[in-house]
């Protein structure tokens, strides 16, 4: 339940329940009072009936000495008051000892409510006339205090407030417990969790799942924590990768720089060198400079691809024409090394590609294939659309996996008969600066070619896979989405 609705209901109950409790207690005590009131009435009526025979004596309603009223005084006490009036309203006797009024009697007040038991909050009273020979002789008034009733009323009032106070305290405690459970406890846990996370500590607290605003806040915090931890891990990985790149770059640049320095010193040492040796030294220097330039270019491209979040600008091309152009131009470098190159393209339809990046991909993959293929061996280069069968020249161990990996995509295939890549190295082959030691040195690579190819093909929403088997060679497959 949402906190705002929970609080609204809680406030309503907190206001309503005390009123209901007070009403229930009041009704219960009122019913109890009504029962006791009847019993009290019957008890007092009985007392009055006991006193009435004594007060019916007509001789009492004449002016006479006070001692003649001693029999009546014995029946009275602090709770019972008896007053006698003469027929004309003159007060003759009162048990509380107050003096008779000196002014004229108020006959209207005295004769009011005769023969009627009057119930008041503190007393019961009755006034009755006394007749002698059918003639009004006097009036007596009996007033009995409701001491027990008042004591019970006070006790019940105390009980009412005690019960109401107890109920209110219990209600307050329950509300505090619920508020603590609903608000304070999860907020305190969240605060501790945030403090621990900010301090880099691992917290073992488990949050209770709830569908309220705090539950949503905790869910968002957990999501935020996961994202931050993911980003921190990515930053740490990137930092380690940068450190590795710097170390690898320093290592790979150190050798050609040493060679360049050594040959340059020889050329400028003043020693007489044969012209052929001079040309050889100069050629080696330029080769090393080209190698260093290629490494720096690859590093610049790799860094730009890593830092850029923008998608490449894709253009619409005719598949048959574009891929035919893409696969051309590699006969000369293969022929120069004595490698037999076979090209096959079975493509039709329209594609959305970045031509410059696609050329970079094929250049990097072919450079690797040529580098690891011996003279006299074969390199097969091909592009196959999703509806075309696989070429027969695909190595048998790769055919089944290749059929599963097609995913209705166009395949760019580069297969060479060079030395195979061990299984344990294949999973890391697309990481930066991962290369065989034979790749370092003359004609070596920067170690970023496959990493760049992977990043570029993924920017085309494609995938790249590598398969290698001992006794056969290596196959690199680029899966390019079709329209």
**Residue bearing tokens 């609080």:** 7
Q: Which band of pLDDT confidence, cut at 50, 70 and 90, is reported for residue 205?
A: low
The answer to whether residues 320 and 305 belong to one domain is no
Cα→Cα distances 331→328, 347, 380, Å: 7, 21, 11
Q: Do the bridges between strand 378-384 and strand 340-346 make them parallel or antiparallel, or are there none, so unpaired?
A: parallel
How high is the pLDDT of residue 99?
Answer: 53
The answer to whether residues 274 and 345 belong to one domain is no
**Would you say residue 222 lies in a domain?**
yes
The answer to whether residues 324 and 226 belong to one domain is no
Q: Among residues of the chain, what percentage have pLDDT more than 70?
A: 92
Find the helix packing angle between 275-307 and 449-459, rounded to 10°.
40
- CA nearest 187: which of 225, 220, 226, 215? 215
- CA nearest 161: which of 260, 341, 21? 21
Q: Which band of pLDDT confidence, cut at 50, 70 and 90, is reported for residue 437?
A: very low
- CA nearest 107: which of 127, 124, 126, 87? 87
- Whether residue 468 contacts residue 474, with contact meaning beta carbons closer than 8 Å, is answered with yes
Question: Any idea which of 2-11, 175-184, 231-240 has the lowest mean pLDDT?
Answer: 2-11
365 CB-contact burial (10 Å; exposed 0-12 / middle 13-18 / buried 19+): buried
How high is the pLDDT of residue 97?
Answer: 63
**Would you say residue 182 lies in a domain?**
no
Which one is predicted more confidently, 396 or 405?
396
3-state secondary structure 421-477: CCHHHHCCCCCCCCCCHHHCCCCCCCCCHHHHHHHHHHHCCCEEEEEEECCCEEEEE
Q: Tell me what percent of the chain is helix, strand and coil, each rounded to the nearest 5.
A: 55, 15, 30
**Would you say residue 198 lies in a domain?**
no
Specify the CATH number for the domain of residue 371: 3.30.565.10
How many other β-carbons are positioned within 10 Å of the β-carbon of residue 107?
13
The answer to whether residues 437 and 364 belong to one domain is yes
How far is residue 387's CA from residue 146's CA, in Å, rounded to a whole number? 110
The answer to whether residues 331 and 269 belong to one domain is no
Total-model pTM: 0.52
Domain boundary among 284, 310, 336: 310
Say if residue 47's pLDDT is above 60.
Answer: yes
Say if residue 98's pLDDT is above 70.
Answer: no
Q: Among residues of the chain, what percentage have pLDDT more than 90?
A: 14
The answer to whether residues 66 and 89 belong to one domain is yes
The answer to whether residues 142 and 27 belong to one domain is yes
Domain encompassing residue 260: 209-310
Question: Any idea which of 2-6, 279-283, 372-376 has the lowest mean pLDDT?
Answer: 2-6
Which one is predicted more confidently, 11 or 357?
357
The pLDDT tens digits of the residues spanning 185-200 come to 778 888 888 888 888 7
In angstroms and rounded to an integer, the radius of gyration of the C-alpha atoms of the chain is 56
Which one is predicted more confidently, 229 or 6?
229
Q: DSSP string covering 28-73, please?
A: HHHHHHHHHHHHHHHHHHHHHHHHHHHHT-GGGGS---GGGGHHHH
The answer to whether residues 145 and 218 belong to one domain is no
How high is the pLDDT of residue 414?
Answer: 94
Which one is predicted more confidently, 440 or 329?
329
Beta-bridge partners for 80 = 77, 144
The answer to whether residues 221 and 321 belong to one domain is no
Most confidently predicted of 56-60, 213-217, 425-429? 56-60
Say if residue 136's pLDDT is above 70.
Answer: yes
How far is residue 464's CA from residue 430's CA, in Å, rounded to a whole number? 9
326 CB-contact burial (10 Å; exposed 0-12 / middle 13-18 / buried 19+): buried
The pLDDT tens digits of the residues spanning 324-383 come to 999 998 999 999 899 999 999 888 888 999 999 999 999 989 988 998 899 999 999 999
The answer to whether residues 268 and 404 belong to one domain is no
Domain boundary among 270, 286, 310: 310
How far is residue 85's CA from residue 91's CA, in Å, rounded to a whole number? 4
The answer to whether residues 79 and 139 belong to one domain is yes
* Total structural domains within the chain: 3
**Would you say residue 162 lies in a domain?**
no
The pLDDT tens digits of the residues spanning 239-260 come to 887 777 777 777 777 878 888 8
**Would you say residue 179 lies in a domain?**
no
Find the helix packing angle between 185-198 and 213-267, rounded to 10°.
10
Which one is predicted more confidently, 179 or 140?
140
Q: Which band of pLDDT confidence, cut at 50, 70 and 90, is reported for residue 282?
A: confident
The pLDDT tens digits of the residues spanning 257-279 come to 888 888 888 878 767 778 888 88
Which one is predicted more confidently, 45 or 269?
45
Say if residue 412's pLDDT is above 90.
Answer: yes
């Amino acid at each position: 339940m949402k906190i705002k609705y929970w609080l609204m209901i809680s406030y309503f109950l907190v206001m309503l329940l005390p009123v209901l409790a007070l009403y229930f207690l009041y009704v219960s005590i009122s019913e109890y009072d009504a029962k006791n009131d009847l019993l009290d009435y019957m008890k007092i009526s009985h007392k009055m009936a006991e006193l009435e025979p004594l007060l019916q004596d007509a001789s009492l309603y004449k002016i006479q000495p006070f001692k003649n009223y001693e029999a009546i005084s014995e029946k009275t006490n602090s709770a019972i008051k008896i007053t006698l009036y003469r027929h004309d309203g003159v007060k003759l006797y009162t048990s509380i000892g107050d003096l008779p009024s000196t002014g004229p009697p108020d006959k209207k007040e005295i004769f009011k409510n005769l023969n009627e038991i009057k119930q008041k909050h503190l007393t019961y009273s009755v006034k009755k006339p006394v007749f002698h020979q059918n003639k009004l002789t006097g009036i007596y008034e009996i007033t009995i205090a409701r001491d027990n009733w008042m004591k019970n009323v006070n006790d019940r009032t105390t009980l009412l407030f005690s019960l109401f106070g107890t109920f209110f305290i219990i209600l307050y405690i329950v509300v505090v417990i619920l508020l603590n459970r609903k608000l304070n406890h999860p907020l305190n846990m969240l605060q501790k969790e945030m403090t621990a996370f900010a301090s880099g500590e691992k917290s073992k607290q488990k949050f209770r799942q709830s569908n309220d605003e705090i539950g949503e806040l905790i869910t968002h915090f957990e999501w935020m924590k996961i994202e931050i931890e993911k980003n921190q891990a990515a930053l740490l990985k990137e930092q380690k990768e940068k450190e590795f790149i710097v170390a690898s770059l320093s290592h790979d640049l150190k050798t050609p720089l040493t060679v360049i320095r050594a040959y340059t010193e020889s050329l400028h040492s003043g020693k007489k060198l044969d012209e052929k040796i001079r040309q050889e030294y100069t050629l080696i220097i330029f080769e090393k400079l080209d190698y260093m330039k290629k490494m720096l270019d690859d590093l610049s491209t790799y860094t730009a691809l890593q830092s850029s979040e923008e998608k490449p600008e894709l253009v619409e091309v005719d598949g048959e024409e574009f891929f035919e152009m893409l696969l051309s131009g590699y006969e000369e470098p293969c022929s120069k090394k004595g490698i037999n190159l076979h090209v096959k393209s079975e493509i039709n339809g329209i594609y959305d590609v970045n031509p410059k990046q696609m050329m970079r991909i094929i250049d990097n993959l072919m450079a690797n294939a040529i580098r690891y293929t011996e003279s006299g061996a074969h390199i097969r280069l091909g592009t196959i659309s999703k509806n075309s069968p696989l070429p027969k020249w695909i190595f048998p161990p790769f055919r089944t996996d290749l059929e599963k990996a097609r995913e209705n995509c166009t395949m760019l295939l580069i297969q060479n008969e060079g030395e195979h890549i061990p299984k344990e190295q294949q999973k890391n082959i697309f990481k930066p600066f991962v290369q065989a030691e034979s790749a370092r040195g003359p004609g070596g690579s920067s170690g970023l070619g496959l990493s760049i190819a992977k990043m570029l093909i993924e920017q085309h929403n494609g995938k790249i896979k590598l398969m290698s088997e001992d006794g056969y060679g290596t196959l690199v497959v680029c899966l390019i989405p079709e329209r």
